[in-house]
Structure 1
C-alpha cells in the first residue's frame, strides 16, 4: 500500500492541460428546469461572473469522470464561464488521456490531504487562462469545491452562476455558501452546523451519527449559518485569498469548519442555500468508520480544538480521545483485529504528540493512517447503475 504524506509536504507533480477548441457544446439531454435556465442566461449573459470548480480525486476516477460529464451539461460551459481543475492526490494509475476543453488535471505523486489538494488546485487556476479568464477586466470569481462522490442535475452550474450574481447585490459580504445536500433516496442530508464546542461534542455522543456534527435545515430560504460542509462549497475568491486558503494542518475533515470560522472572524458571511441541491452518495455518518479513518477524524477534531477552544476544553477532549482509543485498542486485541489495535495505539500516541506539539511525530501518525485510505476510497468508486454509461468524450 502507498503511504500518504502530511499536508504541506514536498511532492513532485505532473501538470496536464487538455487541448481542444475553446468552446465545447453540451449535447446531454437537459431537464425542463435546466433548459429554462439556459434560455434565461442566453437572453442576457453578463460575462462578469465565473465559477472555477476544484475536485480533489483519490482513487475515484469513475465518480470523477461521471461528475465532469454532468458539470458540462450547461450553457455556462460553452460560453467559457466555467473551468475545472481536478487534483489527483496520488492515484494517477489511470492516467488522463482524454481531451476536453475547460478541464485541467494536476497529478500529485502522493496523498496531500484534502486541504492541501484544494490549495494546489487554486494555484493551478492562477496559471491558467480559459474562457472569460482570457480577457482583460474584472471577473467576479467563485471557487466551487466538490467531492467526487457528488452527482449534480442538468443546468447545475447555470443555476449556481445565477445565484452568485444575485448574491453580489443582495449579500455583498457573502464569502461562503453551502448548497443543499440530499441522500441518494432524495431525503435531506445534513450539510451545515454550529461551531463545535467541548460541550456539544459530549452531547453529540448521545445522538445519532447523522446529527452529531451537522444540522438538517428543512427550509427553502437562504439563511446564515456557522459553517457549511466542504463536500459542495462555494467560496468567493476574495475571501479565499484573504484567509490564505484552507489550513493544511488539517489532513481530512474539519478544514471546512475552520475555514468558515476564520471567514466569519474576518467579517465575511456564511450562508446555506437550499434552492440548489446535489446528491452526496457517501457521507461519513452513513458508513462504517474503520480504525485508520477514525484516527484521521480524531486528529481533525483535536486540531480544530487546539486552534479555537480554551485550554481546559482542549485537555478534556484529548483525555476523552485517549480513553476512547485505549478501550478500542483493547477490544480490537480481544477480537484479534491487530491492524485496528495498532491504529488505536497510534491514536493514543497522537494525543500525546498533539499535547506536546511534536509536529514530526504527528505527521508520522497521519502517514501511518493514510496508507489505508486507498482501499476505503476505492470502495466508494461505484457509479449508480442508471448513470453507468459515460459520455465517450470523458
Structure 2
C-alpha cells in the first residue's frame, strides 16, 4: 500500500530543500511526494522543479494551509496521506513510524509526530495538541525534554505540522475546512475524527524537527479566535454548546483581556470575529448537518478527555502566566459541565 507525502509551500525556499531531501530518503518505489505551491514569489517553484524532478508539483493561488493540503490530497494516489510543513525535517524512520498505527490499529484515525524544535533538537515543540473544553488548543509537552514523552498516547488533536491519515478517512471526514484558511484546522479535523469514533495517536518514534517561531499578529489572533468558535459551533450539539456557555464566556474574558493587553492593533479582533460568525451563520448550520452524518461518539465521550487546565505559560510571561493560572484554572474546573475521564489525563 502506497503513501502520498504532501508539503504545502508558501515562500518557503530557505527550508524547502532540507525538508524534501529528508522525505525522499524515506519513500518507497510506490510512494509519491506532492508539493503544492501556494503562489510563492521566492523561487520555490524553480527549486522544486530543478532539484526534485520526481516530485509532483501543483501550483496555484494562495488558498491557505487547508486549501493547499486539500489540493494535494485530491491529487494523491496513496492509500495513506502524510502532511508535513515545509519547515520540517523528518528524521530517519519517522514516516514508517507515523504510518504503523494506521496499518495495524483500525480504530486509530490519525497519527501525530514528535515535533522537536529545529534549533533545540532535543526539546519538544509539540507531541500532539491538547484541547481545552472551550476549544482553546495548545502544544502538548512544549519546551520539555524529548525524553519526557517517549510513550505512545492517545491525544486530543494532531499537530498540523506533521501527521498522517488514511486517504479514505480524510475524504470521508470532508478534508480540511477551507474556511479556516490557517490555524485550528488541524484541531477541527481531529474533533471530527473523534466524533466519528476514531482515536488520535501520538507516535514518539516519529521524530520531526520543526523550525518553529512563535509569532502573534493581529491577523493570527483573528484566525485563532474565529476558527475556535467555528470549530465548536459546527461540531457540537446545541445542548452541549449551551452547557459549555459559562466556560466559553470565561474564555471570552480571558482572550479578550489578552488582546487588550497586546495593544490597539488587537482591539478590533473580537468584533470582527463575532461579525464573521453572524454573517456565516447559515453556512455553519449546513456544516453541522455533515458532522451529524459522521457521528459515532457522543459529545460527552469526546469532551470527557479534554483538558480543563490552560497552559498560560505558552503565551504569557512567567509572572502573568502564574497569576492567570491561579485565578482562572480553578474556575474552569468548577465550570466544567462534563466530568473529566482521568484515565486520559
TM-score normalized by the length of structure 2: 0.68
Mapped partners of 1:323, 1:164: distance in 2: 40
The residue aligned with 1:277 is 207
The residue aligned with 1:102 is 54
CA deviation map 1:70-110 (0-9, x unaligned): 22223xx3x4132111111121452424163430111112x
Once the two structures are TM-superposed, the CA of residue 318 in structure 1 deviates from its matched residue by 8.2
The residue aligned with 1:173 is 107
Mapped partners of 2:69, 2:222: distance in 1: 22
Gaps of 5+ in 1: 1-48, 127-138, 202-211, 333-339, 361-394
CA deviation map 1:326-378 (0-9, x unaligned): 7358x43xxxxxxx3xx642542332331453689xxxxxxxxxxxxxxxxxx
1:127-146 to 2 correspondence within 5 Å?
141-146=79-84
The residue aligned with 2:217 is 290
From the superposition, tell whether residues 125 and 167 of structure 1 become closer, same or farther in structure 2 (CA, over 3 Å).
closer
Once the two structures are TM-superposed, the CA of residue 325 in structure 1 deviates from its matched residue by 8.0
Gaps of 5+ in 2: 284-345
From the superposition, tell whether residues 54 and 91 of structure 1 become closer, same or farther in structure 2 (CA, over 3 Å).
same
The residue aligned with 1:335 is none
Count of aligned positions:
267
Residue 351, structure 1, aligned to residue 286, structure 2: no
3-state SS of the aligned residue for 1:148?
coil
Aligned residues of 1:115 and 1:252 also touching (Cα < 8 A): yes
What is the root-mean-square deviation in Å for CA atoms of aligned residues? 3.0
Match of 1:60 among 1, 8, 12: 12
Mapped partners of 1:93, 1:288: distance in 2: 21
Residue 81, structure 1, aligned to residue 81, structure 2: no
Aligned residues of 1:302 and 1:318 also touching (Cα < 8 A): no
3-state SS of the aligned residue for 2:2?
strand
The residue aligned with 2:331 is none
Once the two structures are TM-superposed, the CA of residue 305 in structure 1 deviates from its matched residue by 2.6
From the superposition, tell whether residues 91 and 358 of structure 1 become closer, same or farther in structure 2 (CA, over 3 Å).
farther
Once the two structures are TM-superposed, the CA of residue 190 in structure 1 deviates from its matched residue by 2.4
3-state SS of the aligned residue for 1:249?
helix
Whichever of the two has the greater Rg, that structure is 1
Match of 1:327 among 256, 260, 263: 260
Mapped partners of 1:59, 1:81: distance in 2: 29
Aligned residues of 2:110 and 2:201 also touching (Cα < 8 A): yes
3-state SS of the aligned residue for 1:288?
coil
The residue aligned with 2:140 is 215
Question: Which structure: greater helix fraction?
Answer: 2
CA deviation map 1:227-272 (0-9, x unaligned): 1211000111121121121122212111111111111222222100
From the superposition, tell whether residues 322 and 66 of structure 1 become closer, same or farther in structure 2 (CA, over 3 Å).
closer
Once the two structures are TM-superposed, the CA of residue 50 in structure 1 deviates from its matched residue by 2.0
From the superposition, tell whether residues 182 and 326 of structure 1 become closer, same or farther in structure 2 (CA, over 3 Å).
closer
Mapped partners of 2:274, 2:111: distance in 1: 33
Mapped partners of 1:320, 1:120: distance in 2: 37
The residue aligned with 1:192 is 128
Mapped partners of 1:348, 1:166: distance in 2: 43
More RCO (CA 8 Å, sep 6+): 1
